[in-house]
């Protein structure tokens, strides 16, 4: 094989790679247009699968799914969940709120108080964005303190609203029979 043929093969392989990447980007943009709410139509993807660290107000590491930059400079967070029912849970709100605290305390960027839990159906792949109101920093600090208090047995935990959460919880032994014996309504 001559050097010319090798160069042409390399050039064609590079060109095919560029075309494939461009096609993938177009496909992702088209898919996003289908589920993105109207409030994010002018938003630009700022961060994807990025981890943020902060020491204030406590040590916190948060990995975000996506953050979209608005023309106003605010970031809007989205979190993808795969579920058969398009629903946002309190745990989703806590997760997104902790991400907000981590981003705002590790960068100079401000994060919107409303984020989106994007629920993708596991079979149809249809996505539904659900807007959620984020918790404030003081509420996240209080939740972190409550977690530390429960772990150190300084306070009694309360039973989760859904039985499945208690049944699969790694800390259910710490709750003890006094908490677990409470009947669900």
pLDDT digits (tens, 9 = 90+) for 6-64: 788 888 888 888 888 777 766 666 656 667 888 898 999 999 999 999 999 999 999 99
Q: What average pLDDT does the segment 91-97 reach?
A: 96
The per-residue pLDDT for range 60-77, each reduced to its tens digit, is: 999 999 999 999 999 999
- DSSP state string for 66-131: EEEE-TTS-EEEEEEEE-SS----HHHHHHHHHHHHHHHHHSS--B-SEEEEEEE-TTT--EEEEE
- DSSP state string for 10-56: HHHHHHHHHHHHHHHHHHHHHHHHHH--GGGTT-EEEEEEEEEEE-S
Q: Residues 54, 106: contact at Cβ < 8 Å?
A: yes
End-to-end CA distance of the chain: 77
């Amino acid at each position: 094989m001559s050097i010319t043929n090798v160069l042409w093969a390399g050039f064609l392989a590079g060109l095919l790679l560029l075309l494939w990447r461009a096609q993938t980007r177009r496909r992702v943009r088209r898919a996003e247009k289908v589920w993105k709410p109207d409030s994010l139509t002018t938003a630009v993807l700022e961060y994807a699968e990025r981890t943020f660290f902060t020491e204030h107000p406590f040590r916190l590491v948060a990995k975000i799914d996506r953050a979209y930059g608005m023309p106003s400079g605010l970031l809007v967070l989205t979190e993808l969940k795969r579920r058969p029912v398009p629903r946002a849970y309190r745990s989703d709100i806590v997760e997104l709120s902790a991400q907000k605290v981590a981003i705002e305390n590790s960068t100079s960027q401000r994060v919107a108080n409303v984020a989106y839990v994007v629920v993708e159906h596991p079979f149809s792949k249809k996505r539904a964005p659900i807007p959620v109101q984020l918790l404030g920093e003081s509420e996240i600090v209080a939740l972190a303190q409550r977690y530390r208090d429960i772990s150190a047995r300084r306070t009694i935990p309360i039973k989760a609203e859904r039985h499945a959460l208690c049944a699969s919880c790694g800390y259910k032994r710490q709750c003890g029979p006094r908490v677990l014996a409470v009947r669900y309504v």
